[in-house]
A and B are shown apart, each in its own frame.
Chain A
Amino acid sequence: MKKRLLSLLLASTMVLSLAACNKSDEGGQGTANAGGDAATELVDGKFAETRTITVEVYDRGNDGGSDPTNNMYTKYIHDQMLDKYNVEVEFVKVPRWTEVDEINNLLAGQTAPDVCVTYSYATIQTYADMGGVLDLSSYVEDYKDVLPNLWNWLGETNIYWDKDPETGSIWALEARLANQNRICTFIRKDWLEALNLEEPTTKEEFYNVLCQFRDNADKLLGGEADKMVPYSVSYDVGWRAATLIESFMDPAITEKEYYVNGFDDRKITEAGAKDAIKLLNQWYNEGLMWDDFAVYGSGDTTEDDMMKAGYVGAFTHNWDYPYRNGEDSIEANLKRLVGEDASYVAIDPFEDSNGTHTKWIAGPIDRKIFFPVTNDEPLASLLYLDFISSPETIQYLQIGDEGVTHTVADNGAIQIQAATGDAIQNSGMNIDYTITCNGLHLVDPEITELSLAYSYAGVDPDLILKANEIAKTDTRELGNVQVGAIESEAGFGEALSSKRDQVYDKALSASTADFDKVWDEGMQDYLASGGQTIIDERLAAWEKTYGDAENLPEK
C-alpha cells in the first residue's frame, strides 16, 4: 500500500513538473518576435481593437494621499490613451522605498507590469542577462514615426544612453532630468537668529554653529533639550552627507578616475571618502549628531518626524526636501508645531580644496524605463511613453486644473496650491506619472522658470530660489561613459550597497580611537566582497574603449 502510494506520488510529481516546464517553454518562444511595422498595426494612429497595458506607479504611502492607481490623474491618462490610441491603461502600484526589491519579485514571478520603471540600472542589466528584458533598439527605430514626442523629449542622448557599444542593444530608456538639482544642506534659520549666528559658509564655521546648537540646547528646545540633534544623517550616510564627502574629493579628479571608482554612487571608493567620514566621526563623538541613526532602516519616518518636531538643527538632503509634500512638508509641519518663525534655509557650507563647492550631479538622466519580456504590447507601451512625453501631458500632470491644484499669478507664474481628495499629487509635480520627465517642464519655458519657485504649496518662494541657486553652484557631471556592460556588477549592486552602508555606519559611529581600524577593515571587506573586481573591470573597460585618455572625448 505504502509503496504504491509513493510511486503514485512520484509519478504525478513528474507529470506536473513536466507540464510546468512545457509551459515556460511556450513563454520563451512567444517573446521572439521583434519590432514590426507600426502601419500594419495602427489604423489612423489607433489600434483597431482595444489593447491593454499595465504600467508601474510608485506607491509612496503618504498620509492622506490619493490612491496612486485611481485618482484624477490616472483617469486623465486612462481616458486620453483610450481616446487617442484605443489603449486601456491599468496601473500597478509598487512601494517607492522598496521598489528594487518589489520589481525583482515581480520580474522573478513573471508578473511585472508591461512598463516598468526603476532607478537601478543594475537590476535591468541583470535581468537582461537572464533574457528577461525586451531589447528596445529595433522598436524605437522602427516605430520612430509614431513616437514624435518621445524622440523630441528624450532625444538621442537619453534614448541611446544605455546602448551597448558592441551589440547595439538598448535595455532601457533613460528619463530626462529637466532639473538637474541634486542636493543641499539645510539649517534652522530661526536658531541661527536666536543665537545671533551667521549662516556658515565653510566646514569650520558649520562645525562651530553645530557646537553652538548643542551648547544652547536648553535655550533652543527648553524642556526637550535632550532631544536636540545638531546635524542629522540617516543610515544612508553616503547620500545624507554627499556634499560633505564630495568636498573631500580632489576637485581636479579626472573622468577616468571618477568612473573607475564610481560604481558606488555614494562614492565610498572615491579618494576622500575616508577623510569625510572621519570628520563626521569626530562630530558624532562630540555629540553633534543623531546617536540612533543606524537602527532605523529604509522608509522609516522617525528622522523626518524629528525634523518636523523641530529637534534637528541641520541636515543634508534632496535640494528641495523640506519643502516637498505641501501640507505635510517638513517646513509646514515645523511652522505648525514650533512656530511661524521656524524654518529651514539652504546653505552651502562644504568647501573643497579649491574653495569651491563642487557638487557632482548625475547627468541628464533619471529613472530607467524598461519592458520585461512578458510585455506583449511593445507598440502600445511605446505609444504610452510617447503620450506621457508630450508637453501637454507633462504640463497637465504637473500642474493639474486651474482652481483645483494651481492658480495663475499676475506675472503668469503657476502657483501650486494644496489639493484635496482625488486631486492630491502623491509625489511632487506628479513625478510618479511623468515617468519620462523629472522636474517642472511646462509648455512655455519662461513660465517654467517663473513657476519653479511657486510650485511648492505654502512655501516662501525665496526659500526655493535660494535652494535652487545653491544646488546649481559649482556642479559637475560625468559624461556618458559607454563601455558596455560590466559583467562583475551584475547581481552585486544590492549586496554591495548594503555593505557600503554598513561600512559608512560603523565607521561613523565608531569610537575615535577605533575609527581607522573600523574603516580599513570595512573597506577591505567591501573590496573583497566584489568591489575590487568591479573597479578592475571598469578600469580595463575604460582603457579598452578610450585608451590612455584621462577624460571623455569632447563631443
Chain B
Amino acid sequence: MEKSSAKKETSVVTKKKLSKNYFKRYWQLYALLAIPMVYFLVFKYVPMVYIQIAFKKYMLNTSVWKMPLAKNNGMQYFIQAFSNPEFMRALRNTIVLNLLDLCIGFPIPIIFALILNELVFKRFKKVVQTIAYMPHFLSWVIIYGIAIQLFAPSTGLINLAIMKMGGEAVPFLNDGNHWVWTYIFLGVWQSFGWNSIVYLAAIAGINSELYEAASVDGAGRFSKMWHITLPGIKPTIVILLIMAIGNILGSSFDRPFALQNNLVMDQAQVLSTYVYQYGIKGLQFSLTTAVGLFQSVVGVFFLLMANWLSRKLGERGIW
C-alpha cells in the first residue's frame, strides 16, 4: 500500500482524489468481492503450485520445490500415460461421451425452454418446470440406485416388463454400447430441467413489443419462436456452447463413477475416474497430475478455438 501511494505522488492530484473518493464510496463492494477472491486464491491458485509434480518424482515429506525431476527431463509421466492402453481408452471414452452429451444434452434444454415458454396455462407450466428441476438435486449415487431398480438385467422393472411381454431383457447396464445410451439418457434426464432455467431467463428478457409487432404482421406461433425467441437467446446459447466445448476433455467424476460397473469399463472409464483409480487409489500423484494438466491444456485450447470461431462468425464471445 505504501509503495503504491509513493508512486502516486507523481500522478495528477485530482486523479488521486478521485480514486480515493471512489474507494471511500464503494469499499463495501470491494470488501464483498474479497470473499470470492480469497476463495479463488486459496483453493484455485495456491494449489497450482503443485502442478509441477507432473514433472517431478513425488515425495510425501519434501517440499514441492525440492522434489527431484522425473526421468526423461521430467516428461516420464506424460510418456507413461500415453503408452498406457487404459489412459488412451479413458481419453477416447471421455471425448465420445462428452460429444454425445453435447449433441443430445445441449439442445434439449433449449427446446424444453422454448416449449415451456409457449405454455399458456401458468400453473401447469410451474408444475412441469418443478418436476423437471427435481432430478438435479439428486446425487448420482441415488440416481444409480434408481437406475438399478429400473434397468438391472434380470430384476429391473423395465426388463421385467419386457420379459413379461415375451421380449428379451435389454442389457441397459451390463453391455457397453447400451450402457453409453443409458449414461446419456440419465444425464439428460437429470439436468435438462435445471439447464433450461438460464434460457427461460433469457427468454423473459426479450422485449414483448417484438412479439406484439409480429402478431400484427400475422406471424404464427412457430414463426415467432423461430424469428424472435431463438435469435433473442442466441447470445446465451453461444456462450454456453463455448463453455461446453471447452469442457470436452473435462468430465464430472460422480456421474461416470456412480454409473460404471465391471462389465462396461471399456466404455465407462473416463479421465476423471482414471485419475481417481490410478492417482488417488494407486497413489501415482505425478502421473495423474500430468493427466490433469494435459486435460486442462486441451480444454483451454478448445475454449479459445470456440471463442475465436464464434467471434469470427459475428457472435459475441466470452471475452
Contact = CB atoms under 8 A, between A and B. Distances in A.
Interface string B261-287: 111010000000000011011111101
Given A291-B154, A292-B153, A491-B278, A104 B283 contact: yes
Interface stretch (A25-33, A49-57, A157-165): A25-33
A131 B62 contact: yes
Interface string A506-530: 1001000000000000000100110
B174 interface: yes
Contacts of B278: 491, 494-495
Interface in A456-487: none
A11 B238 CA distance: 35
Contacts of B62: 24-25, 28, 131
- The CB with the most chain B CB atoms within 10 A, among A12, A130, A492, A504, is that of A130
- The CB with the most chain A CB atoms within 10 A, among B63, B265, B282, is that of B282
Interface in B27-74: 37, 41-42, 45-46, 48-49, 58-65
A429 B59 CA distance: 39
Contacts of A13: 41, 45-46, 48
B183 to A, nearest CB: 14
B283 A505 contact: no
Contacts of B174: 292, 294-295, 509
Contacts of B148: 295-296
A492 B62 CA distance: 23
Contacts of A9: 37, 41, 45
Nearest to A126: B283
B173 interface: yes
B110 to A, nearest CB: 34
A544 interface: no
B4 interface: yes
B263 A4 contact: no
A107 B280 CA distance: 11
B92 to A, nearest CB: 14
B280 A108 contact: yes
Nearest to B37: A9
A79 B133 CA distance: 53
- The CB with the most chain A CB atoms within 10 A, among B265, B277, B281, is that of B281
A9 B287 CA distance: 29
Nearest to B163: A226
Contact of B262 (A31, A132, A294, A529): A294
B223 interface: no
Contacts of B287: 491
- Interface size class for chain A? 35 or more
Interface residues of B, number: 39
Contact of A295 (B41, B42, B153, B283): B153
A21 B65 contact: yes
Contacts of B48: 13
B139 interface: no
B281 A101 contact: yes
A298 to B, nearest CB: 11
Given A292-B152, A509-B174, A28 B265 contact: no
Given A13-B46, A17-B49, A28-B62, A295 B281 contact: no
A127 interface: yes
A163 to B, nearest CB: 22
Contacts of B155: 291-292
B84 interface: yes
A495 B281 CA distance: 8
B85 A529 contact: yes
B32 to A, nearest CB: 15
Contacts of B277: 494-495, 498
A16 B46 CA distance: 7
A407 interface: no
Given A495-B277, A502-B262, A529-B84, A132 B60 contact: yes
Contacts of B173: 295
B41 A21 contact: no
Interface string A422-434: 0000000000000
A97 B114 CA distance: 47
Nearest to B38: A12
A24 B61 contact: yes
A509 B176 CA distance: 13
Nearest to A14: B49
Nearest to B58: A130
- The CB with the most chain A CB atoms within 10 A, among B45, B63, B64, is that of B63
Contact of A31 (B45, B58, B61, B285): B61
A77 interface: no
B65 A16 contact: no
A313 interface: no
Contacts of A100: 281
Nearest to A525: B85
Contacts of B154: 291-292
A21 B58 contact: no
A504 B263 CA distance: 9
Nearest to B1: A8
Nearest to A26: B63
Contact of A131 (B61, B85, B263): B61
Given A292-B153, A294-B263, A132 B46 contact: no
Contacts of B61: 24, 27-28, 31, 130-132, 373
A491 B286 CA distance: 11
A20 interface: yes
Interface in A123-142: 123, 126-127, 130-132
Interface in A352-405: 373
B64 A21 contact: yes
Contacts of A12: 41
Contacts of B42: 16
Interface string A522-543: 0001001100000000000000
A296 B86 CA distance: 23
Given A295-B148, A506-B263, A491 B283 contact: yes
B263 A492 contact: no
Interface in A159-178: none
Contacts of A21: 49, 63-65
B58 A17 contact: no
A529 B265 CA distance: 14
A310 interface: no
A104 B152 contact: no
A108 B59 CA distance: 11
B1 to A, nearest CB: 10
A349 interface: no
Interface string B283-317: 11101000000000000000000000000000000
Nearest to B262: A505
A17 B65 CA distance: 11
20 contacts: A9-B37, A9-B41, A13-B41, A13-B45, A13-B48, A20-B46, A24-B63, A104-B281, A126-B283, A132-B61, A235-B262, A292-B152, A292-B174, A294-B262, A295-B153, A295-B173, A295-B261, A491-B282, A525-B85, A529-B85
Given A131-B59, A502-B262, 9 more contacts: A24-B64, A31-B61, A105-B280, A123-B283, A291-B154, A295-B263, A494-B281, A499-B86, A509-B263
Interface of B: 4, 37, 41-42, 45-46, 48-49, 58-65, 84-86, 148, 152-155, 173-174, 261-263, 265, 277-278, 280-285, 287
The 4 closest A-B pairs by CB, nearest first: A132-B60, A291-B154, A494-B281, A130-B60
